């Protein structure tokens, strides 16, 4: 009876489905609610953080991230970067379950990297990722009501829109996005004050108002907005089961483009001018229309359903996504290949080809470019930031601006002829006292200004405390480190204690003290360079006449003293194996 109540409440809402309340249809009702809200539908308040929805008489819960353990694949990441840089580009698809951005081949639909960007752990239901001319990646978050911003290399730059983070008076329950030719960002909004509208943000994330006003042309719960250049804007309206048209000049409604059986999501145009629409429910699948909106076909393999994203592959087939994965299908409605299994969203083609490219690295040698984009250091270490720009356009660029979040303006109208295919670098050094993400934007252009190109990149410096790890062992062979920290001997035996220290911190430590309960002071301000990740050891021998458990403490630091790190460890020498029952651990 509870399920009947839930379903009837759903019928009373803005979703229209059959009134027969049996089995799979209740499950469908729950799926539709989840898709509309970006939340998980439950019949109880578990887990914590769920909120009860009065209209649907259900609990709506924050989706729990599903993160299958897998080691990142640097080779896959590099292949993804190369694909994005190529003229054929690549496809970006968010996984809203693992909170990752994936990369697929634009010709075959094959998976290149399923964890190209590890999204911010506080992100919610991510829907759509797009690449701006500035080179950054924007990702819409349906549940967090914000558009996130990342560098092409995957560094999280925080919220892009609204400025300062979520503001539900501006947008709530957002889905697909698009860029206007002037660079402004358009976002579909389904909830709160701007419900049933398209909102607009400037190139810096400033809110500019509604681009398409609430309810214009009958718009009700928009899911995607797509520009057919020189023709119109197409917007999927899920509560009216339509794709609507709006004028490219004044955004006024132009009427219906097409009717979809239920819940149209992503829209994309093919090279022929036809339009593909991914449809989530009803006649789920990929619907194809002629440029004038006349239906051409519906491609709905029996194995699939709940279509969200769509893209026409270079091989002539279609890539589509759903909560189950990413799939290649054909226009005969056949499933050709499962490309990926997992909660996949909109499919977006991107390319950095024929653009300016920027790389920021960090190193420890003044005036030299490092090779790492992220390093760990001790506080008050001098770090060199290197900005390398490459002109991938087909012409020379003669003027250059460079802004950095840490250094401010580095270049302003700097005159330098950077030919097509060439690179140049600029370095800045500074002593770093706390962790920082240096975000840089390089603008290259010609006098006018003309041929304006921009690129963004970032490098991270993590300031970490000094740390060391000491292991004390005991054996019988002189000048050799034994493998164990306990030993059984006869009284009067000479044993060798080994003190092995490892620098587990980020920087070199040059001064060392070592004191042992049994042997006393062994090192006192000893000068030894111990670099990050390196180890060294010393041994001392002693004759044991009584059962002994001795602890040693090693202190490593730099002159000052600064960067102080200590570690203690014990070794046990006994005359009876019965003592082994007395276990001990390094401190």
pLDDT at 19 over 70: no
Query: Binning pLDDT at 50, 70 and 90, where does residue 41 land?
Result: confident
**pLDDT tens, 455-496?**
999 999 999 999 999 999 999 999 999 999 999 999 999 999
* Overall average pLDDT of the 522-534 stretch: 96
DSSP 156-174: EEEEEESTTS--TTT-EEE
Cβ atoms within 10 A of the Cβ of 533, count?
10
pLDDT at 12 over 60: no
Query: Binning pLDDT at 50, 70 and 90, where does residue 72 land?
Result: confident
CA-CA distances (angstroms) from residue 260 to 221, 237, 256, 464? Answer: 14, 9, 11, 56
Element holding 553 (H helix, E strand): strand 548-558
Query: Binning pLDDT at 50, 70 and 90, where does residue 584 land?
Result: very low
Please tell me what DSSP assigns to residue 284. -
* Overall average pLDDT of the 39-43 stretch: 84
Q: How far is CA 514 from the centre of its chain?
A: 44
Please tell me what DSSP assigns to residue 48. T
Query: Binning pLDDT at 50, 70 and 90, where does residue 67 land?
Result: low
What's the pLDDT score for residue 2?
A: 31
pLDDT at 5 over 60: no
Angle of the 2-12 helix axis to the 24-37 helix axis, nearest 10: 50
Give the residue, 116 or 69, on which the prediction is more confident. Answer: 116
pLDDT at 515 over 80: yes
> Hey, is 556 helix, strand or coil?
strand
CA-wise closest residue to 267 among 361, 172, 178: 178
DSSP 12-30: HTT----S---THHHHHHH
pLDDT at 343 over 70: yes
Query: Binning pLDDT at 50, 70 and 90, where does residue 85 land?
Result: very high
What torsion do the CA atoms of 69, 71, 73, 77 make, to the nearest 10 degrees? 60
What's the pLDDT score for residue 326?
A: 98
What's the pLDDT score for residue 454?
A: 95
pLDDT at 579 over 80: no
**What's the rounded Cα separation, in Å, for the pair 73 and 118?**
12
* Overall average pLDDT of the 202-216 stretch: 97
Cβ atoms within 10 A of the Cβ of 576, count?
8
* Overall average pLDDT of the 183-199 stretch: 97
pLDDT at 8 over 80: no
> Are residues 370 and 358 in contact, defined by beta-carbon separation less than 8 angstroms?
no
**What's the rounded Cα separation, in Å, for the pair 512 and 530?**
9
Q: To the nearest whole percent, how much of the chain has pLDDT over 70? A: 93
**What's the rounded Cα separation, in Å, for the pair 543 and 42?**
70
What's the pLDDT score for residue 576?
A: 75
Rg (CA), the chain: 31
**pLDDT tens, 541-575?**
999 999 999 999 999 999 999 999 999 999 999 99
pLDDT at 66 over 90: no
* Overall average pLDDT of the 171-178 stretch: 98
pLDDT at 120 over 90: no
Q: Which residue has the tokens 């006003």?
A: 213
Calculate the average pLDDT of the chain.
Answer: 91
Query: Which stretches of 281-422 are assigned E, i.e. beta strand?
Result: 285-289, 295-299, 309-312, 318-321, 325-329, 335-341, 348-350, 356-363, 374-377, 381-391, 397-404, 408-418
Query: Binning pLDDT at 50, 70 and 90, where does residue 48 land?
Result: confident
pLDDT at 27 over 90: no
pLDDT at 261 over 60: yes
CA-wise closest residue to 281 among 14, 13, 22, 35: 35
Give the residue, 73 or 299, on which the prediction is more confident. Answer: 299
Write the secondary structure of 206-235 as one string of H (helix), E (strand) and C (coil): CEEEEEECCCHHHCCCEEEEEEECCCEEEE
CA-wise closest residue to 190 among 219, 217, 218, 211: 219
**pLDDT tens, 400-430?**
999 999 999 999 999 999 999 999 999 999 9
**What's the rounded Cα separation, in Å, for the pair 142 and 146?**
7
What's the pLDDT score for residue 70?
A: 66
What's the pLDDT score for residue 586?
A: 46
pLDDT at 16 over 50: no
What's the pLDDT score for residue 38?
A: 86
Query: Binning pLDDT at 50, 70 and 90, where does residue 13 land?
Result: very low
* Overall average pLDDT of the 61-80 stretch: 81
pLDDT at 11 over 70: no
CA-CA distances (angstroms) from residue 335 to 300, 329, 437? Answer: 9, 5, 44
**pLDDT tens, 270-291?**
999 999 999 999 999 999 999 9
Query: Which stretches of 396-480 are assigned E, i.e. beta strand?
Result: 397-404, 408-418, 423-432, 436-446, 450-463, 468-475
CA-wise closest residue to 41 among 60, 17, 15: 60
Give the residue, 27 or 303, on which the prediction is more confident. Answer: 303
Q: Which residue has the tokens 């439950």?
A: 42
The token pair that represents 113 in the structure block: 């990297």
């Amino acid at each position: 009876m509870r399920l009947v109540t839930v379903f009837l409440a759903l019928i009373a809402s803005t979703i229209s489905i059959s009134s027969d309340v049996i089995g799979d249809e209740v499950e469908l009702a729950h799926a539709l609610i989840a898709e509309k809200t970006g939340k998980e539908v439950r019949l109880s308040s578990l887990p914590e953080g769920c909120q009860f929805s009065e209209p649907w008489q259900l609990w709506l819960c924050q989706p729990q991230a599903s993160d299958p353990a897998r080691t990142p694949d640097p080779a896959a990441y590099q292949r993804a970067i190369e694909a994005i840089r190529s003229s054929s580009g690549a496809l970006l698809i968010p996984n809203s379950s693992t909170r990752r951005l994936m990369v697929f081949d634009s010709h075959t639909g094959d998976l290149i990297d399923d964890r190209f960007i590890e999204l911010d752990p506080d992100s919610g239901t991510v829907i759509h990722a797009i690449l701006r001319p500035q080179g950054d990646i924007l990702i819409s978050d349906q549940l967090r009501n914000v558009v996130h911003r990342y560098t092409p290399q995957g560094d999280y730059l925080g919220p892009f829109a609204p400025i300062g983070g979520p503001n539900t008076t501006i947008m709530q329950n957002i889905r697909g996005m698009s860029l206007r030719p002037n660079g402004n960002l358009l976002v579909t909004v389904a909830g709160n004050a701007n419900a049933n509208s398209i909102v607009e943000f400037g190139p810096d994330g400033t809110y500019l108002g509604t681009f398409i006003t609430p309810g214009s042309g009958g718009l009700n719960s928009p899911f995607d907005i797509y520009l057919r250049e020189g023709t119109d804007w197409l917007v999927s309206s899920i509560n009216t089961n339509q794709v609507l048209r709006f004028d490219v000049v004044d955004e006024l409604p132009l009427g219906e483009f097409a009717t979809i059986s239920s819940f149209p999501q992503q829209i994309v145009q093919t090279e022929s001018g036809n339009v593909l629409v991914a449809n989530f429910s009803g006649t789920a699948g990929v619907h194809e229309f002629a440029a004038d909106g006349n239906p051409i076909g519906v491609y709905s393999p029996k194995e699939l359903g709940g279509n969200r994203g769509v893209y026409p592959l270079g091989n002539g087939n279609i890539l589509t996504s759903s909560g189950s994965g990413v799939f290649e299908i054909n226009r005969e409605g056949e499933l050709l290949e499962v490309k990926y299994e997992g909660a996949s969203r909109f499919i977006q083609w991107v390319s950095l080809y024929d653009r300016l490219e920027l790389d920021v690295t960090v190193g420890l040698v003044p005036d030299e470019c490092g090779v790492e984009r992220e390093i760990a250091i001790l506080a008050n270490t001098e770090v060199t930031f290197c900005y390398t720009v490459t002109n991938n356009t087909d012409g020379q660029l003669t003027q250059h601006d460079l802004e950095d979040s840490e250094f401010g303006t580095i270049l302003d109208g700097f005159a330098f002829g950077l030919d097509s295919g060439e690179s140049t670098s600029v370095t800045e050094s500074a002593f770093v006292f706390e962790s920082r993400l240096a975000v840089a934007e390089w603008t290259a252009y010609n006098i006018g200004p003309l041929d304006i190109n921009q690129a963004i990149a970032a490098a991270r410096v993590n300031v970490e405390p000094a740390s060391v790890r000491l292991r004390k062992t005991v054996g019988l062979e002189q000048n050799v480190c034994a493998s164990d920290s306990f030993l059984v001997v006869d009284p009067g035996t000479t044993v060798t204690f080994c003190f092995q220290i490892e620098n587990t911190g980020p920087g070199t430590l040059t001064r060392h003290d070592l004191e042992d309960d049994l042997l006393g002071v062994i090192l006192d301000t000893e000068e030894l360079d111990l670099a990050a990740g390196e180890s060294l050891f010393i041994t001392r021998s002693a004759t044991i006449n009584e059962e002994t458990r001795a602890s040693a403490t090693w202190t490593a630091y730099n002159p000052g003293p600064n960067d102080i790190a200590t570690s203690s460890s014990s070794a046990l020498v006994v005359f009876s194996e019965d003592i082994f029952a007395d276990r001990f651990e390094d401190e």
